[in-house]
A and B are shown apart, each in its own frame.
Chain A
Amino acid sequence: GENVEQHPSTLSVQEGDSAVIKCTYSDSASNYFPWYKQELGKRPQLIIDIRSNVGEKKDQRIAVTLNKTAKHFSLHITETQPEDSAVYFCAAGSGYSTLTFGKGTMLLVSP
């Protein structure tokens, strides 16, 4: 089955800095890669996703890149703000299969 590794487990940045979270996956059949943001005690929220037919996708301050050859994908957050502080999960899946989640990255943005 699919195995997703996520790094780092914690990330502390100053407000205004950029943050990068990286994930690797093992199943070459995976073709859907979403990122979720989860605030304490709340539900995971889908913030961006990418499919294998593109290498990069951007939505305002958030971008995701995908390297299918190397089987890794990354989340980039620019101009971080304190409200970006949360746990971020990457996931990988294919077609209508279940998603496999990474272990999460706790992002702390200090004012």
Chain B
Amino acid sequence: GAVVSQHPSWVICKSGTSVKIECRSLDFQATTMFWYRQFPKQSLMLMATSNEGSKATYEQGVEKDKFLINHASLTLSTLTVTSAHPEDSSFYICSARAVSGGAGYEQYFGPGTRLTVT
């Protein structure tokens, strides 16, 4: 149980184009999903918190117009990197938190998406 998938696993795009990354909770419903960015040999940097049916909450310094997040259902959240630049190249990981059950604290991570912007 508690499986989170992410698609694509890796993507290469040209500067100026947009890329959409999908995050799905496969066997549970997630009211909240989180999007992280991870640079090599560094920790997870929270970009935004996504709640189903409402606008995402972005962390300070994260451009909401550049990183568009949509949480359309209890099992799907998407991150769109718009007008990508080489500095957006990174490992993007989503995580999902269950609706209820237990204390509702546990977060389960997707496998990540390696984005390379050329």
Where the two chains meet, the residues of A that have a C-beta atom closer than 8 Å to any C-beta of B are: 32, 34, 36, 41-46, 49, 51, 89, 93, 95-96, 98-99, 101-104, 106
Minimum C-beta distance from B44 to chain A (A): 5
* Bound CA span A102–B111, Å: 20
Partner of A46, one of B46, B104, B108, B110: B108
Minimum C-beta distance from B88 to chain A (A): 19
Residues A89 and B44 in contact, CB atoms below 8 Å apart: yes
Residues A103 and B43 in contact, CB atoms below 8 Å apart: yes
Residues B43 and A104 in contact, CB atoms below 8 Å apart: yes
* Bound CA span A46–B110, Å: 12
Within 8 A of A (CB), among B71-118: 93, 97, 103-112, 114
Minimum C-beta distance from A52 to chain B (A): 11
Residues B103 and A32 in contact, CB atoms below 8 Å apart: yes
A-B contact count (CB 8 A): 47
* Bound CA span A46–B107, Å: 8
Where the two chains meet, the residues of B that have a C-beta atom closer than 8 Å to any C-beta of A are: 4, 32, 34, 41-44, 46, 49, 93, 97, 103-112, 114
Known pairs A43-B110, A43-B111, A45-B109; A101 contacts B44 (CB<8 A): yes
Closest 4 CB pairs of A and B: A43-B109, A32-B105, A103-B43, A43-B111
For the A-B complex with A99-B107, A104-B42 known, give 16 more contacts whose Cβ atoms are closer than 8 Å. A34-B107, A36-B109, A42-B111, A42-B112, A43-B109, A43-B110, A43-B112, A44-B44, A46-B107, A49-B105, A51-B105, A89-B44, A95-B105, A96-B104, A96-B105, A103-B42
The contact sample of 20 A-B pairs, CB cut-off 8 A, is A34-B106, A34-B107, A43-B93, A43-B111, A44-B44, A44-B93, A44-B109, A45-B109, A46-B106, A46-B107, A49-B105, A51-B103, A89-B44, A95-B105, A96-B32, A96-B97, A96-B104, A96-B105, A98-B34, A101-B44
